[in-house]
Amino acid sequence: MKRYEALAEAMTESIRTGVLQPGDRLPSVRTTCASRGVSPSTVFQAYYLLEARGLVRARERSGYYVAAGVRRVPPEPEMASQPAEESMAVDVSARVFDILEASMSRDVVPLGSAFPCPTLFPMARLGQFMASSVQTLDPWSTVDDLTPGNAALRRQIALRYLAHGMHVHTDEIVITNGAMEALNLCLAAVTRPGDSVLVESPTFYGTLQALERMGLQAIAVPTHPREGMELAALERAIARHRPKACWLMTNFQNPLGSLMPLDKKQALVALLARHGIALIEDDVYGELYFGDQQPLPAKAFDTEGLVMHCSSFSKCLAPGYRIGWAAPGRYTQAVARQKLTTTLSTSVPAQLALAAYLERGGFDKHLRKLRRTLAAQQSTLAEAVGHHFPEGTRATRPAGGYFLWVEMPAHVNAFDIHRRALSLGISVAPGPIFSAAQSHTHCLRLNYGHAWNARSEQALATLGQLVAAS
């Protein structure tokens, strides 16, 4: 990001959070130069950009002023969650299934969807690589490296790690049917029925479904909406419950969107290593960052082989191809054996297609466009929530991903909002499905991974009316 763009973004944040109100005069060019340490040219470029966005208006011989009608974003949640921190059985699958099934129709406004819009991805380009891969397929490649996965694809994934300053050997990588299989295989490799697993509060409902299916107990750990799991609470939970694993997202957590700072990731890995606890790191949103640099996962700080890093191409490149992977450290052989005795292998043509695309298809160019789109759509959704939802509403402002976590006034029932909204053709993800205890009853997860249009705006207006009437 160029200097003038960074300055424009900082001013935009001040306007949309209400620090600068409609009608307020922006600081003079001279003042901004002095306070920001930039040149007059940089300031003028930033102000021109703000004017082009409709956020400010120039007045002859007077300066720049915040435009009327600029919509504010709601304040962010500031408090970490406060779960009971008890070890408990999980029973969420039936309710999660019912809610997700009801949200899958194309006729429904997909604010509750777990996926970004499929039109954001280079499906035609991927199809070309798929066709080419199948036509030139070496018959023996269909049985080579069945369980670990295609060697060319594992090499491309290893090169992605290397580009971010991480050395992960190709032999450590196990290709899977999406990230969910990778996560489930890792969980099965380090736990047995009846064991306890540390999770965030709130946490991804897929995590809870995996624990339920394997007969495991969930220990919800307080989690901050911006910085992730609270390490002091994590240490208390370890001492009390002696868990076998910890499953979390350090980058753009679902549903909060939290991003754990680097020093906290390092401390997390060190804490778990002291107790010999495996970390199952779900990093499916890591490529969807809005800043200048991809945040490193906790895996980058692992020296003991205890971090089992899992990701996929489903959220950033190839939805429906179901290609993910695990880099499970010291547990690689155990994960590979779990793969061998369950699904055996992952689609060879899909692996070959993605390997070829990663080598020659322009992945990084696609990612830059995707990130810009998601960042813009987040701003639009946040502004719509601030405009339509009642006073007392708070919403996160993630630095990546495509989810907004909305805390409505405490008396509002998220399940009730979900049911009423769905009857009007609008899907939302109610907060309780992200908790084994069905807490977060006044919260919603909203998806900004779909194009914003008049229908989206009307849906937010309707949601705001439902919340206000509750």
Domain edges within the chain: 3-66, 89-118+365-469, 121-363
Q: Is 148 helix (H, G, I), strand (E, B) or coil?
A: coil
- As a CATH number, domain 121-363 is 3.40.640.10
- Predicted confidence at residue 108, as pLDDT, reads 95
Is 106's pLDDT higher than 90?
no
Please state, rounded to an integer, the average pLDDT across all residues of the chain.
94
Is 104's pLDDT higher than 80?
no
Arithmetic mean of pLDDT, 171-192: 98
Burial readout 133-152 (b: 16 or more C-beta within 10 A, e: otherwise): beeeeeeebeeebebbbbbb
Least confident of 33-37, 173-177, 274-278, 354-358: 33-37
- Predicted confidence at residue 184, as pLDDT, reads 98
Contact 57, 12 (CB under 8 A): no
Distances from the Cα of 412 to the Cαs of 101, 184, 351, 466, in angstroms? 23, 34, 46, 10
Q: Which DSSP symbol is given to 187?
A: H
pLDDT band at 99 (very low <50, low <70, confident <90, very high): confident
Burial of 74 (0-12, 13-18, 19+ CB in 10 A): buried
- In terms of DSSP bridges, do strands 278-282 and 63-66 run parallel, antiparallel, or are they unpaired? unpaired
Helices (H), 280-437: 332-340, 348-360, 363-388, 414-423
Residue 79 CB-half CA count within 13 A: 6
Q: Which residues contact 319 (CB under 8 A, 6 or more apart)?
A: 115, 116, 118, 121
CA distance linking residue 44 with residue 25, whole number of Å: 15
Q: Which residue has the tokens 């070890």?
A: 87
Contact 323, 354 (CB under 8 A): yes
Query: Shortest CA distance to 101 belongs to which of 443, 457, 418, 452?
Result: 418
Would you state the torsion angle of the CA atoms of residues 399, 400, 402, 405, taken in this order, to the nearest 10 degrees? -40
* pLDDT tens digits along 202-258: 999 999 999 999 999 999 999 999 999 999 999 999 999 999 999 999 999 999 999
Q: Is 392 left (phi over 0), alpha (psi -120 to 50) or beta?
A: left
- Among residues of the chain, what percentage have pLDDT more than 70? 100
CATH 1.10.10.10 fits 3-66, yes or no: yes
Question: Which token pair is 30?
Answer: 């001279």
CA angle 299, 302, 307 (to 5 degrees): 60
Asked if 3-66 and 89-118+365-469 have one fold, the answer is no
Query: Shortest CA distance to 177 belongs to which of 365, 366, 314, 21?
Result: 314
* pLDDT tens digits along 428-463: 999 999 999 999 999 999 999 999 999 999 999 999
Q: Is 226 helix (H, G, I), strand (E, B) or coil?
A: coil
Query: Shortest CA distance to 108 belongs to which of 443, 373, 376, 426?
Result: 426
- Predicted confidence at residue 178, as pLDDT, reads 97
Class for the domain spanning 89-118+365-469: alpha beta
Q: Is 305 helix (H, G, I), strand (E, B) or coil?
A: coil
Burial readout 258-292 (b: 16 or more C-beta within 10 A, e: otherwise): bbbeeebbbbbbebbbeeebbbbbbbbbbbbbbee
Crossing angle, helix 332-340 and helix 178-190, to 10 degrees?
110
